[in-house]
Amino acid sequence: MGAFDTLFQWAFLVPLFPLVGFVIVGFFGDRMKKAEYGGWVAVVLSGLAMFVGILIAIGEALSPGTYTDASYTWLNLPGTQSVFSNGFSLVMGTLVDPISALMLVVVNVVGFLVMLYSIAYMHHDQGLPRYYAELSLFLVAMNGLVLSDNLLEFFLFWELVGVCSYFLIGFYYEKPSAASAAKEAFLVTRVGDVLFLLGIFLYFATYATSGGGAGWAASGFKFTNGNTPFLGSLVGSASSPTLTIAGLMMLAGAAGKSAQFPLDVWLPDAMEGPTTVSALIHAATMVAAGVYLLVVVSLFLGFTADDRLAIVAVGGFTTIWAASMALVNTDIKRVVAYSTISQLGYMVLAVGAGFAMVGLYHLFTHAFFKALLFLAAGSVIHAVGTQDLLKMGGLRKSMRVTWIAFFVGAMSLSGIPPFAGFWSKDDVLASVYSQVGAHPLYWPFLLCAFATVFLTAYYIFRAWFLAFDGDGSRDASLPHAHEAPWAMRLPLIVLSGLALVAGLFAFVPSFANLLPGAGVPPTYGTTDLMLSATSVGLGFGGLGLAYLMWGNGRVFTLPADSPLQPFRTVLLRRYYVKDAYDWFGLKAVYGLSRAADFVDQYVIDGTVRGIERAFSQLSDAGRRLQTGVVSDYAAYVVSGLVGLLVFLLWIAPWLVRSVGGG
Amino acid sequence: MSGLVLAQFLGLSAALLGIGLFGILTRRNFILLLIAIEVAINAAVLNFVYFAGFASGPGGVSGQAAAVVVVGLAATEVAVGLAIVLALNRQRGSINVAEASTLRQ
C-alpha cells in the first residue's frame, strides 16, 4: 500500500479525458463558431490525460514493482458444462504496472504534442471536428489498450485502435488512394487480428479446465491474480505444441499491427493520411501496440523456445527488409515509414531474444525520435506542399528549427551517441548478441540487424541532405518555404529534447523501475563496447556514404546501364509483395468468389427454384381440371367409378394371384 | 337356378345405370340431366328390391325399407334440383349446364 494507491485505482481517468473530448468535439464540434475551438478542446483534454499519465508513471517509478488492478466483473458464468467447469468471467478493468505506466507516458506525451501540432498543421483542412474527434477516440482506445488488465479487454481496444487508424488513414476520403490505403490497412491488420483471436481461443482451450494456470482463462484472462502478477508462470518453459501455436498466433497479431514481415505492406500506404496521424498512430503508438502485445505476453504468460525463435526471425528479417526499401524511395514520409517498420523489427527482435524490457526501452525512445521525424517531415510538407524529396532542397536556410529537429531525429535513428536511439538500439544488439548461443539461427538475424544500422543511417541522411542541403528547390514551381508557426515548432523542440535525452532516462534508477527486467539499463562490458563501436562505426559509415552521394545538394543518379538497376526496380516495386497480394486478392480470391457465386446461383438457388417451378406447373395442371362445368365433374366421377371397377374385378385378383395369396 | 334369375335382374339394373350415366355425361339441359340421374338412382333402388326378394328373414324387409327411403331421397333431390333449375333460369335465362361454369357472376 503506497502513497499512490488511490491514483493507481483512478487510472481510468487517463482514457476518460480524451473520451470527453471525443464526445464534445464529435457531437458538438460542427456547431462551434470556429473549427479550431474543437481542436483546442481536444488539446486541453489530451493535456489533462498526459498530466495524469505522467503522475501515474512518477508514482510507479517511486514504488517499484507495484501492480494495481482495479476491475469490474462484467459477466460471471457459473461452471456447469464440461468446457466451463471452472466457470467463466468477463472483466473490464485497469492494471497499473511498470510497463503500462511507461506506455502511458509515451502515448500521452506524443498524443498531446501531436494534437497541439495539428492545430497549425491541419488549419486549412476541411472536416476538422471529425479529425479531432477521431484522434481523441484513438487516444481513448490506445490508453485503454495500455491499461487493459486482461487479454480480452486488450483485444477489444486493439480492434478499436485499428478502427481509428482506418478512419484517420482515410481522412482525405475523397482521394481514392487514401480510401484504398485505409481499406488495405484495415484488411491486412485484420489477418493478424483474426489469428490473434484464434490464439486467445487456444489459450482458453488450454487453460479453461486444466494446465499449469488452471482457472486463468476462467477468471477472464486477467494478467494478475488480484495484485499479484503471473509473470510468466503460466507458460513458463513448458513446450506444449498448443502453447507454441498460441504464441505464434500472438506473434501474427503483433506482426499485423506492427507491420512486420509479411504483413508490412499496409504501413507505407498508410502515409496517405495526414502527417500528424502518421506521427502519432503509425510511428509512436498504434504500431507499437504489436510490440507491446509481445511484451505483455512474454512478461505475464511467457513464450516457448520455438515461439522465441520465430519472433527473432520475424523481427530480425523485418529490420533489413524494410530498411532496404527505404534506400530508394523518394517520398519523405514513406522513407520514414519504412524506417518505422525496420525499427519495430528491432523491438520484436529484442522481445524474441528474451529481453522484453529492452524491446520496450527501444519502443520508448523510438516513439519520441520517430514522432519527431514525422512532425519535421510534416513541417517540410506544410512549407513546400510536396512529399517528393527530389523536388525539395535548400530548406535549411528558411527552416532552421525543422532542419535541426530532423537532424536530431536522424542522428537518434542512426544510433549515434549520445542521442536516444543509440542507447536503446545498442542495448537491443547487445542483448541479442548475448543470446546467439541459444540457437544457430540467431546469428543471421543478428547480422541483419547490424547491417540495418548502416542502411538506416544512409537512407535517413539521404533524405535529410536531399531536403535541406543545396542552394534551393530543384523544382522551381515550389513555393518559397517559411518556418512553421509556433504550435508546430513547440512540439518539434520538445521532441528534439526528448530524442536527445530519452535514452539516458534508463540510467536513472527510479525510471529504470518502469522497465523491470534483464538488460535495462544497458551495461557496458568489453564485448558490449566492441559491439557499440561496431554499430556506431556502421552508423557513421552510412552517414558518410549519404554525404558523399547526396550532400551539398548533390543528387546521385544510378546510371541507366548499371547492373544495380534491376535491384533498384525490385526495391521500388517493394519486392513485388504488394503486387502478389493484389494478384491474390483480385485473381485467386475473386475467382473463388465467382465459383462460390456460381454454386449459389445455379446449384442452390437452382434447386430451390426448380422445386418451386415443378409445383407451380403441377398446380397449373390441376387448376385446368377445375372447369366449373357440371358435366366434366360427372365425367371424373364416372371415370373414377370405372377405374374402381376395373381395379376390383381385374387388377386386384391378378395381384392376389401373382403374389401367391389365397 | 335362382343365381341365374338374379343375374338377369342385375343385368336390367346395370342397363338402367348405363343409360342413366350416358344421360348424365351427354345431356347439357339441366332437366334432362335430372331425369338421367333419376334413372341411375332407380337402378340402385331395383337392386335393393331384388336382393330383398332373394334374402330370407328380417333382411328382406330391411331391403324393401331401404328402397322406399331411397325413393324418398330421390324425390327430395329432384325437388332441390328443380329449385336450382328455376333459380338458374331466372338468373341467366338459360338452363344449359355447360354455360353455368362459375358459382357467381
Give tens-digit pLDDT for A610-649.
Answer: 999 999 999 998 888 888 788 888 888 889 989 999 999 9
What is the average per-residue pLDDT within A110-128? 87
CATH tag, B3-99: 1.10.287.3510
Put simply, the answer to whether B21 touches A628 (Cβ < 8 Å) is: no
Res. A538 pLDDT band, cuts 50 70 90: very high
pLDDT digit string (tens) for A136-190?
A: 999 999 999 999 988 889 999 999 999 999 999 989 888 888 998 998 899 889 9
Domain boundaries, given as residue ranges, for chain B:
3-99
Closest in B25, B101, B102 to A635, CB measured: B25
Closest in B21, B25, B101 to A627, CB measured: B101
Stretch among A200-209, A228-237, A621-630 having the lowest mean pLDDT:
A228-237
Does B1 or A422 have the greater pLDDT score?
A422
Closest in B98, B102, B103 to A631, CB measured: B98
pLDDT digit string (tens) for A20-59?
A: 999 998 888 888 777 778 888 889 999 999 999 999 999 8
Length of chain A: 662
- Contact between A46 and A112 (Cβ < 8 Å): yes
Residue A405 — φ and ψ, nearest 5°?
-60, -45
Query: Would you tell me how many other CB atoms lie within 10 Å of the CB of residue A662?
Result: 6
H helices present in B30-101, as ranges: 30-54, 58-92
What is the average per-residue pLDDT within A362-381? 91
Least CA distance to B26: which residue of chain A? A631
Q: Which pLDDT score is estimated for A336?
A: 92
Q: Which pLDDT score is estimated for B50?
A: 86
Residues A369, A405: Cα–Cα separation, whole Å: 9
Q: What percent of chain A has pLDDT over 90?
A: 34
Res. A229 pLDDT band, cuts 50 70 90: confident
Most A CBs within 10 Å, among B17, B21, B30, B94, to test the A interface: B21
Q: Which pLDDT score is estimated for B105?
A: 62
User: Is the predicted pLDDT of residue A307 greater than 50, yes or no?
Assistant: yes
Most B CBs within 10 Å, among A624, A625, A627, A629, to test the B interface: A629
Closest in B25, B102, B103 to A638, CB measured: B25
What is the average per-residue pLDDT within B20-35? 90
Distance of residue B86 Cα from the nearest chain A Cα, in angstroms: 17
- Across the A/B interface, how many CB contacts are shorter than 8 Å? 22
Q: Which pLDDT score is estimated for B59?
A: 67
What is the average per-residue pLDDT within A523-538? 86
Put simply, the answer to whether A629 touches B97 (Cβ < 8 Å) is: yes
pTM for this structure?
Answer: 0.77
Residues of A in contact with B100 (CB under 8 A): 630
As a whole number of angstroms, the longest Cα–Cα distance in chain A is 121
Put simply, the answer to whether B21 touches A631 (Cβ < 8 Å) is: no
What is the average per-residue pLDDT within A236-258? 83
Which three cell numbers mark B51?
Answer: 336382393
Put simply, the answer to whether B101 touches A628 (Cβ < 8 Å) is: yes
Q: Which pLDDT score is estimated for A22?
A: 92
Which three cell numbers mark A109?
Answer: 506525451
Which three cell numbers mark A377?
Answer: 517531415
Residues of B in contact with A631 (CB under 8 A): 24-25, 27-28, 97-98
Res. B1 pLDDT band, cuts 50 70 90: very low
- Contact between A140 and A22 (Cβ < 8 Å): yes
Put simply, the answer to whether A630 touches B102 (Cβ < 8 Å) is: no
User: Is the predicted pLDDT of residue A209 greater than 60, yes or no?
Assistant: no
